């Protein structure tokens, strides 16, 4: 990652886009969590997807929550850069990792949470590699 700071308008535009994507993906994740309830699964889209392929719902849940982590992390990095002209530190990123893991664990089962954690860690490694 370079040391030069992008223009403020570019940071604002990127932050708006990532906030929208985070909200959309989190809403989709909450919808999948609600549709997975035993009372409504037979009449919900999750039930229809389970009838087609039982692994399809798991993959969608994992990708949605991994996307939430990625876009939430980019949002926090952009907001910190905009406000302080300093890039976000690893503390914020690790805190977001923990928050996303807990959200995923509470919304879905432990398998989805662990795989989401692994994909999120892969994104953190990618961010680390960008620094050098």
Number of domains in the chain: 1
36-74 tens-digit pLDDT: 888 888 888 888 888 899 899 999 999 999 999 999 999
Residue 88 lies in domain? 8-131
Whether residue 3 lies inside any domain: the answer is no
With a threshold of 0.85, does the pTM exceed it?
A: yes
Whether residue 2 lies inside any domain: the answer is no
Whether residue 1 lies inside any domain: the answer is no
Alpha carbon 65 to chain centroid, angstroms: 5
Rounded Cα gap, residues 132 and 72, in angstroms? 23
Nearest-CA neighbor of 108 among 1, 7, 34? 34
Whether residue 41 lies inside any domain: the answer is yes
> Does pLDDT of 21 surpass 60?
yes
The DSSP-derived string for 23-90 is HHHHHHHHHHHHHTSTTTTTTSHHHHHHHH-HHHHHHHHHHHHHHHHHHHHHHHHHHHHHHHSS---H
Q: What is the mean pLDDT of residues 21-29?
A: 96
- Over the chain, what is the mean pLDDT? 89
């Amino acid at each position: 990652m370079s040391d030069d700071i992008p223009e403020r308008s570019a940071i604002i535009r990127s932050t708006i886009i990532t906030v929208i994507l985070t909200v959309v993906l989190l809403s989709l994740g909450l919808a999948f969590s609600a549709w997975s309830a035993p009372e409504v699964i037979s009449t919900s889209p999750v039930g229809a997807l389970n009838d087609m392929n039982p692994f399809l719902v798991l993959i969608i849940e994992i990708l949605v929550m991994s996307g939430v982590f990625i876009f939430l992390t980019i949002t926090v990095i952009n907001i910190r850069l905009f406000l302080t002209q300093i890039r976000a530190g690893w503390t914020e990123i690790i805190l977001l990792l923990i928050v996303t893991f807990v959200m995923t664990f509470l919304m879905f089962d432990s398998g989805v949470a662990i795989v989401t954690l692994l994909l999120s860690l892969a994104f953190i490694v990618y961010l680390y590699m960008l620094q050098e």
